């Protein structure tokens, strides 16, 4: 973990020490990696939510409607986090505050 943190700091120093093109390149890379990780986390969370809802409905079919409603609310909250990551990525790409 320390090696990864060291590499991130080293790449950040190269980005800020270089010209504007280097910073743009690193911004694109950071936006892509950040959005990819957010989408991966959202997909895992949605899968866990759906699995838990299916298991709960299988145990007690009478609560299926309430569980489904709660699942859709949870999925909306998970998807909102991914959309927030998309907004931050777009800000890093087009309205870069470091430029």
Q: What is the pLDDT of residues 57-94, one digit of tens each?
A: 999 999 999 999 999 999 999 999 999 999 998 888 88
Q: What is the pTM of this model?
A: 0.73
Distances (CA, A) of 90 to 8, 32, 80, 96: 21, 10, 15, 9
The H or E element that residue 79 is part of is: helix 64-94
Domain boundaries defined on the chain: 2-94
The dihedral through the CA atoms of 74, 75, 78, 79 has a sign that is: negative
CATH topology for 2-94? F1FO ATP Synthase (1.20.20)
């Amino acid at each position: 973990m320390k090696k990864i943190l060291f590499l991130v700091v080293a790449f950040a120093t190269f980005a800020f020490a270089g010209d504007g093109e280097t910073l743009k390149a690193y911004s694109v890379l950071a936006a892509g990696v950040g959005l990819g990780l957010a989408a991966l986390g959202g997909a895992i969370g949605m899968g866990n939510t759906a699995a838990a809802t299916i298991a709960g409905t299988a145990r007690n079919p009478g609560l299926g409607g309430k569980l489904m409603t709660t699942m859709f609310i949870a999925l909306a909250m998970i998807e909102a986090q991914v959309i927030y990551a998309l907004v931050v990525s777009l800000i890093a790409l087009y309205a870069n505050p470091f430029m």
